[in-house]
Structure 1
Amino acid sequence: MTFRAKILGAAAGGGLPQWNCGCENCNLARAGDIPSQTQSSIAVSATGRDWAILNASPDIRTQLATTPELHPTDLRALPLRSVLVTNGDIDHVAGLLTLREQQPFDLFASAEIHGVLDDNPIFSAVNPAVVPRRVIRLGETFALVEGIEATVFAVPGKVPLYLEGEEVATDLEGEQTVGVHLRCGAQSVFYIPGCALIRPDLADRLRGADIVFFDGTLWRDDEMLLQGLSQKTGQRMGHMSMAGTEGSMAAFAGLGVKTKVYVHMNNSNPVLRPDSAERAAAKAAGWTVAADGMEFRL
């Protein structure tokens, strides 16, 4: 078996260009000067026939249409076997509503994330009689799709924006934000599209992995403030920045990860420009900046 991961969407919530944003990156993408990107999702397979999707992006209809491996193989037959969501953020669950067409697949999530879906009656359109809601416990290993086992684990993060109260903890560790450890034979792959910081236990978990797909939301913590796009820092949004002594590039140095891939980039992030100094710096640190349609094989 050959592990395959296809980037369905490389951008964070809003995509690139974001519909209401006139920042430099969004304007360049509208003009066709840099590649547009859809919202955060990957698809994985060990057989090339059976696929799982990690996070159901609001752009999933377009992503499925542009990915031949996921096209229908018969009148109502599809290679999609399961969907796993890592948190309750809109950019990771809204696509489930597109998958409401009485198409069977398994929906994996933690009990807390399933609770968020259960509490919103609109998600009942994804009929549980057709799409079983599989509750996965932290640390439990289960078959995600033929040839690939998965284990979810807590990473520092926060509750979805629509569940925030007056006080917001951005480094909670529990079922609200999880990372995924994928095993295909001897291959070890991690998918962590949202993470507020890398504590020593997480660093030890990732050490020596074959591939890590990691949160690349912002280049620097105050990026959106400096561009006049928001009053929130990356930390306030529950995301770790790439650059700086506290950034993910520094945190991954010395971990011996063979392939490091940034996913979930915000439209403000300068690494989305192929000719930027920031893209060059990320490449020099051994990182690949994901783009829609990119594929990784082991």
Structure 2
Amino acid sequence: MHVKILGAAAGGGLPQWNCGCQNCADARSGEIAGMSQSSVAVSADGRDWVVLNASPDIREQLRLSGLHPPSRRGSPVRAVVLTNGDIDHIAGLLTLRESTPFQIHATAATLAILEQPVFRVLNPALVGKQAIRPDDPFEPLAGLRLTAFAVPGKVPLFLEEGEVKTDLLGEQTIGLRIDCGGRVMFYIPGCAAVTPDLRDRVGGADLLLFDGTVWSDDEMTRTGTGVKTGGRMGHISMAGPDGSLAAFDGLNLARRVYIHINNTNPVLRPGSQERARVGAAGWEIARDGQEILL
């Protein structure tokens, strides 16, 4: 299985256009590497690819990753699979509108969001939409078997109304299991909590790409960049007794990598104590352009 990290950051990327936090300032000056918004490409043969979430940065991501047209017109991207309807996961579809065929796979709840008029720029004669049913495997490409499953999360920000539940289990937020050639990876870029079922499900995998949005639940308020907690945004923190470091501690995983990392997260600084703790626990921090062969 070929895996390319097209983008490793959470929504807004690093640096975020309107943020002057230390990480963003360091990224602008070149002290730390910048990152585009979370997206991953997978392939069984290195020729035809499935993109997991279409980030707003997808045009540049495809250019830098080498996923170039194989002929005068076309693309090696054969399908896009969406894990939810967040802007940083669906906006890139609007870039893929220039009359090249591919398939979109998403839950019925996410496909309903794509019924908004702006997405009509995707020619339905070329761009098909296929509904994903949780725990029902599908093959977007020969050799790649994907299985979606519900993880705790919430509706996209633009659909929030009244009191928001951030731990919904349904079609709003899914994780993906990808099987290829006897290898297994999981892609879970958004998750509000690690349940016992989720921990059991991912155990034994060759690769886990997991939600690394914030280090601590109060990170936004502590850095003066926002008022919402990580939990309110639908993302589990890395640290703390209920964080993902503790939740996955001791679990048999060949490789564990944090992805979808917010611009405020201190693990982005190579010399930070937080980065050292993550490394000591056996975790890596995803980076744009990273390639993994399983």
TM-score between the two structures when normalised by the length of structure 2: 0.99
Letter in 2 for 1:29: A
Task: Name the residue aligned to 1:62.
Answer: 60
Count of paired positions:
294
Task: Name the residue aligned to 1:244.
Answer: 240
Deviation at 1:144, TM superposition (A): 2.2
C-alpha RMSD of matched pairs (Å): 0.7
Q: Distance in 2 between matches of 1:45 and 1:220?
A: 34
Task: Name the residue aligned to 1:220.
Answer: 216
| 1:18 counterpart (11, 16, 19) | 16
Task: Name the residue aligned to 2:281.
Answer: 285
Deviation at 1:136, TM superposition (A): 1.2
| 1:112 counterpart (100, 109, 114) | 109
Task: Name the residue aligned to 1:295.
Answer: 291
Q: Distance in 2 between matches of 1:12 and 1:42?
A: 13
Moved more, 209-218 or 125-134: 125-134
Q: Given the alignment of the two structures, is residue 130 of structure 1 paired with residue 157 of structure 2, yes or no? A: no
Unaligned runs of 5+ in 2: none
Q: Given the alignment of the two structures, is residue 47 of structure 1 paired with residue 45 of structure 2, yes or no? A: yes
Task: Name the residue aligned to 2:85.
Answer: 88
Secondary structure of the residue that 1:156 maps to in structure 2?
coil
Task: Name the residue aligned to 1:6.
Answer: 4
Letter in 2 for 1:102: S
Unaligned runs of 5+ in 1: none
| 1:175 counterpart (165, 171, 194) | 171
Secondary structure of the residue that 1:205 maps to in structure 2?
helix
Secondary structure of the residue that 2:289 maps to in structure 1?
coil
CA contact (8 A) 1:217 1:241 kept: yes
Letter in 1 for 2:256: K
Secondary structure of the residue that 1:132 maps to in structure 2?
strand
Secondary structure of the residue that 1:133 maps to in structure 2?
strand
Q: Distance in 2 between matches of 1:149 and 1:133?
A: 17
Deviation at 1:78, TM superposition (A): 1.6
Q: Distance in 1 between matches of 2:241 and 2:30?
A: 34
Q: Given the alignment of the two structures, is residue 75 of structure 1 paired with residue 51 of structure 2, yes or no? A: no
CA contact (8 A) 1:50 1:146 kept: no
Q: Given the alignment of the two structures, is residue 202 of structure 1 paired with residue 198 of structure 2, yes or no? A: yes
Letter in 1 for 2:110: I
Runs of 4+ residues over 4 Å off in structure 1? none
Letter in 2 for 1:108: H
